[in-house]
Amino acid sequence: MLTKILIANRGEIACRIIRTCRRMGLRTVAVFSDADQHAMHVALADEAVHIGGSLPTESYLNRDVLISAARRTGAQAVHPGYGFLSENSEFARACDQAGLIFIGPPAAAIDLMGSKSAAKLLMDKKGVPTVPGYSGDDQSASRLRAEAQRIGFPIMIKAVSGGGGRGIRIVERIEDFDAALQSCQREAKAGFADDRVLIERYLPMARHIEVQVFADAHGNVVHLFERDCSTQRRHQKLIEESPAPGLSASQRHSICEAAVRATSGIDYRGAGTVEFIAETDADGSIREFYFMEMNTRLQVEHPVTEMVTGLDLVEWQIRIARGEAIPLQQSEISSRGHAIEVRICAEDAGRDFLPATGRLQYLRLPAAIPGQVRVESGVQQGDEITLFYDSMLAKVIVWAADRSAAIARLQMALQDCVFAGVGSNVGLHRKILALDDFSQGRLFTGLMGRHWQALQSVHAPDTALVGLAVAGVLNAQRGGQGLVPGAFRPFRSDDPWAVQDDWRLFSAHQRRFDFLYSTKPEPDQHVLATLFTTSGRLVIADQDYAFRWSRLDEEGGLLVHLGGITVKGQVRVDSGRRLHIRTQQGEFDFRLSDLYAAGEDLDAAAASLRAPMPGLVLSVTCAAGDHVKKGDPLMVLTAMKLEQTISAPRDGVIEEVFFSAQDQVVEGAVLVKFQDAPAVH
């Protein structure tokens, strides 16, 4: 009897597995690191075990401590979720040796499909079409370069053991091949302990379509139809949907049948996803499809399949793991309507999706509507979003009778998403959904690149919105927020020295507000304010307006009268001087510029020597006294699975290095002091 399951994961997937286990009458054991001791999944589980430090290698990637926790709590099975050890064959073997059920495929199947080169060879034997390329054992740089020339540029270099969009480089010309190969191998070695790569023809006009499959120990294999995952950034999925738009009935049959054929005969058990890359025409219609890889685990996007089929994939995983047959035959599985999922991540889309960290000062998510709107998240208001783990904050999934209705429903749901205190990509999702190419189903993996300028455009806020921002700052200050990082203090209405209401005995208070609402370093908007307690005058763009405001509630609701305009909205201000503004017109993110912030003794050309994101130093490749050329790598940072290389901005000399490998840095920290190269006379 299977009565207790340890979940070897965290965040929203751990919470999602716990809910199914509870419905099935199974007890759950959560595991948590130092950084996750107050996390949602810890509170939801029946038991929780501390497993180590905040770094994944000290906790969620430590096989021994996870198995020890399972045995100590009496769990009979381990569910790995996705990410971390979910596709680690050694972990599956260790569970088996410890007498634990691994809720996933056998180790041999993970090994077979975990190697992209071995999987491609197997697919060739099974008659499943594969992308033209090279996946041989000879990994010498000369052989790989020769194969790239044979295949023809552009090509894609992929880590043999990679996944999650990592370990991939696109190379347009032979001159860039060596540097891209070394970068890919370095990332693969660090992320997957395997620097082997394969080379494939790069398909610039392509769609990413995957098929959900299940297999049991009784020889049964079925598919649960396909998902389209073409809307991506940095080769990582952002929006997924089912069914794939524009796929004909015959194409759907062919791709799903190929996925079943790929899964059959390899002693596979449980959930799996067979991923295909498909060549497309300009209108997004598919010409040919090729096998890309198989993920031997549950996928992040599995809820869209659940929404169109009405099935619980985690329940199927558990039933198959305890020896049961697949609950339904292929003819009994059907798909209805259309489902779309968006991944809401803590990242700054305006700065090449750099990770965003901080405290969730305020969180609001859409209300769940059974069968129509589903929200999965592992965070709650007040949580600290750290650099240690994946950047995903939540998933919002909707279902409707057709795709157009699903897009409209998703837009409405995203209007109710607020992540104040931490940057998110909610606004980017709303722009993508509004693109004509997306709404018409003209999808391909380069969709965001084609529309990047439009997606990045920042429209100047109107005058009323600027007035609302000023009122938001004043309201925050009067609630005891000093608008300096860490300078929060309790508000005491009985203490006159705690009141910050701009009152003056014999005169008005004149202040200047400088707001940034784009990615430029200089303020976009200057406001000169002459303030009384709750009124005054604002000068915005050389126009003078009467200004009056009032607080509507304790959640940041404000009413502002500016000249003859009245605007109502909600303004949340965090300790990083960021303002998150919501009105009927949409959401806006401002930042209050600090005119008195101390500067550093570094000129603007050396800006790249500051940390562009909070992170962990992976490696340092320079030392004081080194002469470097423009573009030479100096340091590599990592945060939320993203690597960022800090390069020399120009020829020069390293004067001082302030951090070493494994040090943590905050955004904006000076990493390296840099001097121009001596002039040549």
At 44, is the pLDDT very low, low, confident or very high (cuts 50, 70, 90)? very high
- Given a cut of 90, whether residue 411 has pLDDT beyond it is yes
At 606, is the pLDDT very low, low, confident or very high (cuts 50, 70, 90)? very low
pLDDT of residue 629: 87
The DSSP element (H or E) to which 316 belongs, if any, is helix 313-321
Question: pLDDT for 611-630, tens place per residue?
Answer: 888 888 988 999 998 998 88
Q: Are 500 and 510 in contact, with CB atoms under 8 Å apart?
A: no
Which is more confidently placed, 551 or 603? 551
First CA to last CA across the chain, in angstroms? 83
Range picked from 130-139, 165-174, 261-270, 511-520 for highest mean pLDDT: 261-270
How far is CA 631 from its chain centroid? 28
- Using DSSP's 3-state secondary structure scheme, residue 184 falls into helix
Dihedral sign, Cα of residue 84, residue 90, residue 95, residue 101 = positive
% of the chain with per-residue pLDDT over 90:
54
Per-residue pLDDT averaged across 203-211, rounded? 91
At 276, is the pLDDT very low, low, confident or very high (cuts 50, 70, 90)? very high
- Using DSSP's 3-state secondary structure scheme, residue 161 falls into coil
Distance CA 367, CA 595 (A): 41
Question: SS3 sequence, 421-486?
Answer: CCCCCHHHHHHHHHCHHHHCCCCCCCHHHHCHHHHHCCCCCCHHHHHHHHHHHHHHHHCCECCCCC
Distance CA 198, CA 276 (A): 16
The residue count for the chain: 681
Question: pLDDT for 79-103, tens place per residue?
Answer: 999 999 999 999 999 999 999 999 9
Q: Are 548 and 631 in contact, with CB atoms under 8 Å apart?
A: no
Q: Tell me: domain 206-456, CATH 3.30.470.20, correct? A: yes
The DSSP element (H or E) to which 23 belongs, if any, is helix 11-23
% of the chain with per-residue pLDDT over 70:
90
Q: Tell me: domain 604-676, CATH 3.20.20.70, correct? A: no
Strands 418-420 and 525-531: unpaired
Domain 4-103 carries which CATH code?
A: 3.40.50.20
- Given a cut of 70, whether residue 428 has pLDDT beyond it is yes
Which is more confidently placed, 679 or 615? 615
CATH class in words for 463-592: alpha beta
Distance CA 44, CA 29 (A): 9
At 503, is the pLDDT very low, low, confident or very high (cuts 50, 70, 90)? low
At 596, is the pLDDT very low, low, confident or very high (cuts 50, 70, 90)? low
Average model confidence (pLDDT) across the chain: 87
Distance CA 126, CA 261 (A): 7
Q: Are 360 and 379 in contact, with CB atoms under 8 Å apart?
A: yes
pLDDT of residue 490: 44
Dihedral sign, Cα of residue 151, residue 156, residue 157, residue 161 = negative
Per-residue pLDDT averaged across 411-435, rounded? 90
Which is more confidently placed, 465 or 480? 465
- Given a cut of 90, whether residue 440 has pLDDT beyond it is yes
pLDDT of residue 162: 74
Name the amino acid, one letter, at 454: A
Q: Are 576 and 583 in contact, with CB atoms under 8 Å apart?
A: no
Per-residue pLDDT averaged across 63-89, rounded? 96
Tokens coding 367? 């209300």
Helix 116-126 × helix 107-114 angle, to 10°:
90
| CATH 3.30.1490.20 domain range(s) in the chain | 132-201
Which is more confidently placed, 676 or 325? 325
Distance CA 471, CA 213 (A): 54
Per-residue pLDDT averaged across 639-643, rounded? 75
pLDDT of residue 589: 80
At 666, is the pLDDT very low, low, confident or very high (cuts 50, 70, 90)? confident
Distance CA 616, CA 593 (A): 27
Whether a cis peptide bond, with omega within 30° of 0, leads into 649 is: no
Domain 132-201: CATH superfamily is ATP-grasp fold, A domain (3.30.1490.20)
- Given a cut of 80, whether residue 496 has pLDDT beyond it is no
- Given a cut of 90, whether residue 76 has pLDDT beyond it is yes
| CATH 3.30.470.20 domain range(s) in the chain | 206-456
Tokens coding 494? 């009985």
| CATH 2.40.50.100 domain range(s) in the chain | 604-676
Per-residue pLDDT averaged across 598-607, rounded? 42
Tokens coding 200? 């494939």
Distance CA 299, CA 272 (A): 8
Question: pLDDT for 573-595, tens place per residue?
Answer: 876 677 888 887 777 888 887 65
- Annotated catalytic sites, by residue? 297
Among 375, 296, 327, CA closest to 103: 296
At 486, is the pLDDT very low, low, confident or very high (cuts 50, 70, 90)? very low
Question: pLDDT for 17-42, tens place per residue?
Answer: 999 999 999 999 999 999 999 999 99
Among 79, 208, 91, 199, CA closest to 145: 199
At 165, is the pLDDT very low, low, confident or very high (cuts 50, 70, 90)? low
Strands 101-102 and 77-79: parallel
Helix 403-414 × helix 426-434 angle, to 10°:
150
Question: pLDDT for 231-249, tens place per residue?
Answer: 998 778 999 999 999 999 9
Among 112, 152, 145, CA closest to 131: 152
Which is more confidently placed, 610 or 343? 343
Range picked from 160-164, 497-501, 512-516 for highest mean pLDDT: 512-516
Measure the CA angle with vertex 203, ends 197 and 204; round to 5°: 120
